[in-house]
Amino acid sequence: MKTEISSDIAAASAWLKQGETVAIPTETVYGLAANALNPDAVLKIFEVKNRPTFDPLIVHIGNMSHLEALVKNVGDMSQRLAASFWPGPLTIIFSKNEIVPDIVTAGLSTVGIRMPNHSATLELLQTIDFPLAAPSANPFGYISPTTSLHVYEQLGEKIPFILEGGSSSVGVESTIVYCNNDDCTVLRLGGIPVEAIEEVIGKKTMVSLHSTSNPSAPGMLSGHYAPRKRLVIGDPEELLIKYSGQKAGILSYYRSYPTPYIEVLSPEKNLSTAAKNLYHSMRRLDSSECEIIFAEWVPDEGLGRAINDRLRRASLGSASHTLKV
């Protein structure tokens, strides 16, 4: 199948209306989208990504009236979070209406919904009368794409169309929250910092991350977002000595190191810039000639928590989990 990369929204819309999959830009990462209300179209997402069907998808909407059609009731706290952060990198879990097919939610009675903050995709959502189910547009388990070229490199020839939308401005996936009447739980750290959520709801959240053992987030596998190469986290200087026989690549927060394979996430120590660059830098190291990747932690606050979470998962998902480091 020939894959077209274009900013033609009408063409993207036409493919989606025919029940095809289309890669869409969002502010977090590119998604692989299909009509969320058409189970045959959604099945294609799982096939193209090689994604297990027990891993539920996020549904993307372009306006609030779609939310009411998809979910049973919007609680007070969820309402406040949506009003504060949509469009934006926050996915909220709701009780789903029957209209949402089981394949979207992996059979769960809940559905994750967000309104993405990207002008092309918001415009696309206005031209169709259905919401879009979309996981990140990468093969299951690999690093998420933040440019159309990343999508093309891995899913080219498998999908008809990639909607061009530049580089993703946030660079890590959405934060996922679930709220009941009294409390909110963060199920995945992401583009909205936990502190910002706590400010809106006026109380502390619980943070309950991962894993296959957590039935409310079956897809949060700990070894996710992983490069092919082994990724070890620690002090790069110490690691350079410890693994001195190997050609090392370094993923650093702000410093430079004496190796030809170096990616500095943000020389000015800005966590938003670091998040924006994270996956792109990981990909460059993964496709460079280095043999092993050393990454350093960033400050564990704000967006830094999401970055550290992705580094941790990348190290678990890469070959390193077989070795004690």
Beta strands in the chain (DSSP E): 4-6, 22-24, 31-35, 58-60, 90-95, 110-114, 132-133, 161-163, 175-179, 184-188, 206-207, 230-233, 248-252, 261-264, 292-295
The alpha carbon of 204 is separated from its chain's Cα centroid by a whole number of angstroms, namely: 24
Lateral strand order in the sheet of 261-264: 230-233, 292-295, 248-252, 261-264
Which of 13, 21, 38, 91 lies at the binding interface for ligand TXA (CB under 6 A)? Answer: 91
The reply to whether 25 sits near ligand TXA by the rule CB under 6 A is: no
CA pair distance 186, 151, nearest whole angstrom: 28
In angstroms, the Cα distances linking 223 to 36, 95, 138, 169, 182 are: 27, 28, 15, 25, 32
* Interface characters, 98-127, with Mg ion (x: CB under 5 A): ------------------------------
Question: Residue 136 Cβ, how far from Mg ion at the closest point, in Å?
Answer: 3
Question: Closest-CB residue for Mg ion?
Answer: 136
Question: Residue 186 Cβ, how far from Mg ion at the closest point, in Å?
Answer: 17
Backbone angles phi, psi at 22, to 5 degrees: -140, 135
Give whichever of 224 and 230 is closer to ligand TXA, judged by the CB atom.
Answer: 224
Which of 25, 62, 135, 145 lies at the binding interface for ligand TXA (CB under 6 A)? Answer: 135
The reply to whether 169 sits near ligand TXA by the rule CB under 6 A is: no
The reply to whether 62 sits near ligand TXA by the rule CB under 6 A is: no
CA pair distance 300, 44, nearest whole angstrom: 38
Which of 173, 263, 286, 296 lies at the binding interface for ligand TXA (CB under 6 A)? Answer: 173
The reply to whether 3 sits near ligand TXA by the rule CB under 6 A is: no
The reply to whether 309 sits near ligand TXA by the rule CB under 6 A is: no
Residues binding ligand TXA (CB under 6 A): 26, 28-29, 31, 55-58, 89, 91, 93, 105, 108, 110-112, 116, 134-136, 173-174, 176, 187, 216-217, 219-220
